[in-house]
Amino acid sequence: MKDIDDSKAPLLDHLIELRGRLLKCVYALFITGAICFYFSEQLFAILVHPLKEAFGDGGGRLVYTKLYEAFFVQVKIAVFGAFCLSFPIIANQLWAFVAPGLYAKEKRALLPFIIATPFLFAMGASLAYFVVMPTAFHFFLEFQGNSSGLQVEALPSADAYLGLVMQFILAFGISFLMPVLLMLLNRAGFVSRAQLIALRRYMIVAAFILAAVLTPPDVVSQLMLAIPLLALYEITIVAIWFTDRKQAKDVAATEAADAAS
């Protein structure tokens, strides 16, 4: 019985620690969600700015098609904002839970990827907000006008617009994490630089398929996601070349030191 208790004690300690860190993540989500709900009107004004610019001065409007839509738009903004704001806290708690079980060398290898993740997500989201959405909205609104004697006017609902904005931001933000994933797979030994080079032609097809799935069904949005994905793929191949070169130098230096001793 004593051996069973001894073997269970470390697991119980880990579960208690995991529970504590999950609770911290939940608290962070609730607190940031409450803050975002309080400032939901201001946040929605920021999110709607690209559409306002696309409509131009004095033009365009958003409508509600359901009585409860306005409230749930604010809830969605709060949830979306809570996810973005609390992501660094959640990542930090995950790192704090995993780090004690890693060797010092593994910590040094993983820490840059943990730090790079929010920056890459922010880069993708910024590209979507400042470049892709204004361009796409201008393209969509060009179909307004007179058609067969009827006036065609864009009257997007607030909920549908918010869903489109979230789709753009999440699609670009998550897609920009591809270099982190590929570098981690390379560090783990699952994929090599030579394999990535050999898969380049398939990556071109995959990038356009992914762009077609994640973005609205227009060529402009798809090209604006597929082209950066391909550029990030090439940058990752170059980055792996540098890391492989550094690793080879470290191995050679270690072997030389062992031989000298």
Classify residue 147: in a domain, yes or no.
no
| CB 252, CB 200: distance < 8 Å | no
Classify residue 19: in a domain, yes or no.
yes
Percent of the chain with pLDDT over 70: 95
Close Cβ partners of 81 (under 8 Å, ≥ 6 residues apart)? 32, 33, 35, 36, 43
Classify residue 226: in a domain, yes or no.
yes
Classify residue 146: in a domain, yes or no.
no
Classify residue 227: in a domain, yes or no.
yes
pLDDT band at 109 (very low <50, low <70, confident <90, very high): confident
Compute, in degrees rounded to 10, the torsion defined by CA atoms 21, 22, 24, 25: 120
For the segment 12-39, what is each residue's pLDDT rounded down to a tens digit?
777 888 899 999 999 999 999 999 999 9
pLDDT band at 261 (very low <50, low <70, confident <90, very high): low
Q: Global pTM?
A: 0.83
Burial class (CB in 10 A: 0-12, 13-18, 19+), 207: buried
Range of the structural domain that residue 177 is part of: 2-51+65-140+155-252
Classify residue 222: in a domain, yes or no.
yes
Classify residue 37: in a domain, yes or no.
yes
What domain count does the chain have? 1
User: What is the DSSP secondary-structure string of 152-175?
Assistant: E----BHHHHHHHHHHHHHHHHHH
Classify residue 58: in a domain, yes or no.
no
H or E segment and range at residue 113? helix 104-127
Residues for the chain: how many in total?
A: 261
For the segment 145-175, what is each residue's pLDDT rounded down to a tens digit?
777 777 888 889 999 999 999 999 999 999 9
pLDDT band at 221 (very low <50, low <70, confident <90, very high): confident
